[in-house]
Structure 1
């Protein structure tokens, strides 16, 4: 009788163990199937447009880097069209891309903002986004950033190194009355510095940029903040031959002239693309607004300071940087 009870107990325990194991197998099988289904899900199709080329140091190269980054991070298939002309033919290209399954169209620059706005009502099921720009709609958003705080710090760096008390800015877009950071950084350090501002109105016009740079040098400007992406190379080479300092833009440009580049205002545009893709693929999607990214998104910063700065000067600049970023 006792042996009978023991046998029943052993059988019961065995059945419980088998049942638990069976349930576990079912659970794991379900997980594996879900993972397989997820991995087999078709990638989201994205179209990226830029009017620029994609050569090194160009604005368009940032679109290419953005494409590569989001394809590495997310289940997306991105097509990049460079050197596009904003006209009816571009609309046909976008329409064909949407017909082929594109769900998100990204315009690499403010120049696409108004053009996209006119398209959004025709393609209501497609999400449009521009990097910089002003126009928004129910399916059109702007992702941008305001790096005035970092330019303020760059201004401090320039003020510490000018001997003639004349600093120049060569811009690709006329932002003289919008950008306060660089000029305020200069004035906060040396109020008597004269800021000389001029605009090329193109990121590619090397000849015009050199004309402006030469004119500034004739006016005793000894530091130029050059903000033209492509034409920066020509300006930096001129600065090297003339023995003046420059501040680079978009990427760390010290490799062009280590003894002449004070620092560079770095814009990490691929991080903007990551923010766009992350929001688009999220449950909430892209909101119809102008979204400002900041330092927490890793979209801008300053390149390392050159060897022309003393340790005391670098410490002073870094302290000022911490102060202004903590205020924003």
Structure 2
């Protein structure tokens, strides 16, 4: 009997140790192995591409994993080659840092069931394909309000990449809400990185007496703002806080924190909770904000604008919808 009792005690102790060890392993287990990113343009554009790279580095630091990136990936063939290379390296979470990757990922997602694909601002999804969308209409609206307030010539200019950008319509509405006497002139580059054309459009708008500019494009926003500064005029920054380009030039910026969504998606994936689907984020989610305000912008106006933003966070209504 004593031997049986001793054997039973040893069995119970071993069982407890095994359970504790199992719990410890599970608590340390993570689903992320390695992470890859595809960029349509460059990670050094001081705008959208830089935001993506920052998010990738934050994932590397937080989860202590290897990360990889490829720039200038714009075709299905390039995507196929990059994903195959990533998969062979053990990457199981891939970010496509552009809306163009939605259909491209959709076409190959089923071939890589162990890889989860994430991209931005699109309508494609699958079990292992997630679209993270910024609701950019409101940020454009509030940026437009600042432009409408600060224009002295009542001529405001938009130099945008594409006509379909939601922030463009929002900006137009914001200018008109704040200053019905202002005229908004729109020009389109028809691409995210044609800096030469963007600068030519700036020159044309300057000749039309435009004194506040919204350069809404990844690669050309900073070069255009530099020209605006040289001309002694005003600009609204795009996607990132561009006040560093000149606090007396950049009145404020319409900021999207793509890096925060990178980390959030990685955290969800790491615990098995990243779902395939289409998800939208705005001011209420802490990933869309206005950047620093120039000292040129009156303090009373800034306070009033921030009150409008707080109201929008509460009920989703812009000032012109109240």
Give ranges in structure 1 of 5+ residues lacking alignment.
1-18
Segment of structure 1 superposing worse, 211-220 or 31-40: 31-40
The reply to whether residue 305 of structure 1 matches residue 293 of structure 2 is: yes
Task: List aligned pairs for 1:100-179, cutoff 5 A.
Answer: 100-175=89-164, 179=168
Shift of 1:321: 2.0
Q: Which residue of 1 aligns with 2:304?
A: 316
CA separation in 2, counterparts of 1:180 and 1:154?
11
- Alpha-carbon separation, structure 2, partners of 1:140 and 1:42: 16
Deviation at 1:273, TM superposition (A): 0.6
Q: Partners of 2:272 and 2:26 in 1: how far apart?
A: 19
Q: Secondary structure at the match of 1:102?
A: coil
Q: Is the 8 A contact 2:137 2:166 kept in 1?
A: no
Structure possessing the higher radius of gyration over alpha carbons: 1
SS at match of 1:57: coil
1:176–1:197 contact (8 Å) kept in structure 2: no
Shift in alpha-carbon separation, 1:42–1:139, aligned structure 2, 3 A: closer
1:10-68 Cα offsets, whole Å, 9 max, x none, are xxxxxxxxx9xx99xx9799657744675476852222111222215043222211111
1:270 aligned residue: 259
More relative contact order in 1 or in 2 (CA 8 Å, sep 6+)? Answer: 2
Paired residues of 2:141 and 2:167 also in contact (CA < 8 A)? no
Contact 1:171 1:228 in 2 (8 A): yes
- Structure 1 residues 297 and 110: alpha-carbon distance in aligned structure 2, compared to 1, 3 A threshold: same
Cα deviation, 1:118-151, whole Å, max 9, x if unaligned, reads 1123233432221222222232221111022222
Name 1:94's counterpart in structure 2: 83
Retained in 1: the 8 A contact 2:39–2:72?
yes
Separation (CA, whole Å) in 2 of partners of 1:40 and 1:157: 48
Contact kept? 2:243, 2:253, Cα under 8 Å: yes
| Aligned residue pairs, count | 306
What is the TM-score when the length of structure 1 is the normalising length?
A: 0.83
- Contact residue 240 and residue 256 of structure 2 kept, 8 A: yes
> In 1, Cα distance between the equivalents of 2:95 and 2:109?
13
What residue ranges of structure 2 are gaps of 5+ in the alignment? 1-8, 317-322
Q: Deviation of residue 247 (structure 1)?
A: 0.5
Residues 52, 59 of structure 1: 8 Å contact kept = no
User: Cα RMSD over matched residues?
Assistant: 2.8
Shift of 1:257: 1.7
| Residue matched to 2:239 | 250
CA shift in 2, pair 1:41/1:246, >3 Å? closer
